[in-house]
Structure 1
Amino acid sequence: MPTSYEIPEVLDRREGPHGEVVLRRHGELLQIIANGCFLMDTSDGRSERLLVDAAREALDDRPEPAVLIGGLGVGFSLAHAAADPRWGRITVVERERAIIGWHREGPLSGLTEQARSDPRTKILETDLVRYVNETSDTFDALCLDIDNGPDWTVTEGNSGLYSDAGLASCARVLSPGGVLAVWSAQPSPEFEETLWNAGFKQVRTEEIPVARGVPDVVHLAVGPG
């Protein structure tokens, strides 16, 4: 683990269509920073794994369900999904070309090499909000981790995903009885209410204990279809 006197080392800095994206090393950790906002690092991955597991368990014994993972990040969610043979098609949507490149031939490649070579896996370079609005594909589970939560988005355009209209798009790509799972750095009662108002069912929040501070959470809901 990094110590307080270690200075993060910038490994790569890119200017993309949504602003600056930085990959840096802090001690043993790799960190992704977007527009000066810390997104995630390689320290744990517990909450990213729970995001995928909670969605899978909510689907009960549905055979080979298809999952859409919103946000590649450091790859914990993708790697965990690919390690579970119960999943069928695994699609990852990531809008930042730099992050995809860091996985394909950069410092993050070792974290997802096996998952990326899995024939079930497909990584798409596109914006998640646009994708759920336009795709004709359907999924049994949507596991979304593109922000620090519904109330703390990385870019302003992402906020539409958590609105009535955005949730209607999510519901459109969910198969009947499909599950929406949304990671958040803190609970959002307002988002729970929006889910209910959008017609989602069995809305609940699972807490993920952290070392200190407010627990991370996963918001879970079954689609209205």
Structure 2
Amino acid sequence: MGEAASVVERAVTARGELVLREHAGHFEIISNGVFLMDTRAGASERLLVRAALDLLRPGGRVLIGGLGVGFSLAEAVASALPAEIVVVEIERTIIDWHRRSLAAYSAHALDDPRVRVVNEDIVTWLRRTGEVFDAICLDTDNGPDWTVFAQNAALYDTDGIALLRDRLAEGGTLAIWSASAAPRYADRLAAVIGPVTAHPVAVSRGEPDMVYLARRGGPGRPGRAG
């Protein structure tokens, strides 16, 4: 039999129970008994940010939706390009874990002076803020077709895409992580924001993860990149 998982920390939040557990040398985040993510891979989460940074001007502002186990934030702080990195995370518990058990996985980024962490629901915050970003990287869910919280569905419909577009500077990039291909969502991105490319990332089992990039500008049609 394999090694059993051990609970490192447990918390009850407004959205239910969050558990951080360790299994075979890796950490896992469990929400209400459902596995969310772990520290075993992270290639597609890093690509989410790296692809957006490839289009970022020096001194640009980056927004990351969702802290998770920290792969996206670690990729952002590894670059000298961003002048400011704003992370919006709804769970204070997860933010606190990144000051302890998960600090190494986010490259101790919470101590980086360029990083500002906002503890708020991403949809609520986007509607309230007037801030504009050169890159927005969303890793709040398992994709447009599988949201962690029901209210997050508002991020992926036409109005939600328009809200994200309005928080992008002209020529800015929206990067979306998805656990599977979502071609209809890509069509909506192209119609509302601009040209779209799809970047598949192979995983050990099942269909590839997918990163969608939409560049704010003229109308475009979905494309595919390796």
TM-score by length of 1: 0.92
SS at match of 2:145: coil
Name the amino acid aligned to 1:160. A
Match of 1:216 in 2: 209
Q: How does 1:88-127 map to 2 (within 5 A)?
A: 88-104=83-99, 106-112=100-106, 114-127=108-121
- Does residue 139 (structure 1) correspond to residue 133 (structure 2)? The answer is yes
1:80-134 per-residue CA deviation (whole Å, 9 max, x = no partner) reads 1101111221110100011011112x31123335322211111110111111111
| RMSD (Å) for aligned C-alpha atoms | 1.5
Residues 42 and 74 of structure 1 are in contact (CA less than 8 Å); yes or no, is this contact kept in structure 2? yes
Q: How does 1:74-85 map to 2 (within 5 A)?
A: 74-85=69-80
Query: How far has the Cα of 1:58 moved from its partner?
Result: 2.9
- Which of 56, 60, 83 aligns to 1:65? It is 60
The percent identity for this pair of structures is 47
Name the amino acid aligned to 2:18. V
Match of 2:150 in 1: 156
- Which of 196, 204, 209 aligns to 1:203? It is 196
Name the amino acid aligned to 1:92. V
- Does residue 6 (structure 1) correspond to residue 29 (structure 2)? The answer is no
TM-score by length of 2: 0.91
Match of 2:23 in 1: 26
Match of 1:86 in 2: 81
- Which of 174, 180, 183 aligns to 1:186? It is 180
User: Which segments of structure 1 move beyond 4 Å, counting only runs of 4 or more?
Assistant: none
Q: How many residue pairs were aligned?
A: 218
Residues 137 and 175 of structure 2 are in contact (CA less than 8 Å); yes or no, is this contact kept in structure 1? yes
Cα gap change, 1:190 to 1:31, in 2 (>3 Å) = same
Stretches of structure 1 lacking an aligned partner (at least 5 in a row): none
- Write the distance in 1 (CA, Å) between the matches of 2:217 and 2:151: 24
SS at match of 1:206: strand
Query: How far has the Cα of 1:22 moved from its partner?
Result: 1.4
Name the amino acid aligned to 1:47. S
- Does residue 36 (structure 1) correspond to residue 30 (structure 2)? The answer is no
SS at match of 1:221: strand
- Write the distance in 2 (CA, Å) between the matches of 1:148 and 1:35: 16
- Write the distance in 2 (CA, Å) between the matches of 1:116 and 1:124: 11
1:46-72 per-residue CA deviation (whole Å, 9 max, x = no partner) reads 11110001111133xx22211000001
Residues 83 and 115 of structure 1 are in contact (CA less than 8 Å); yes or no, is this contact kept in structure 2? no
- Write the distance in 2 (CA, Å) between the matches of 1:133 and 1:35: 27
More helix by share: 1
- Write the distance in 1 (CA, Å) between the matches of 2:187 and 2:199: 15
Name the amino acid aligned to 1:96. E
Stretches of structure 2 lacking an aligned partner (at least 5 in a row): 219-226
- Write the distance in 2 (CA, Å) between the matches of 1:136 and 1:23: 34
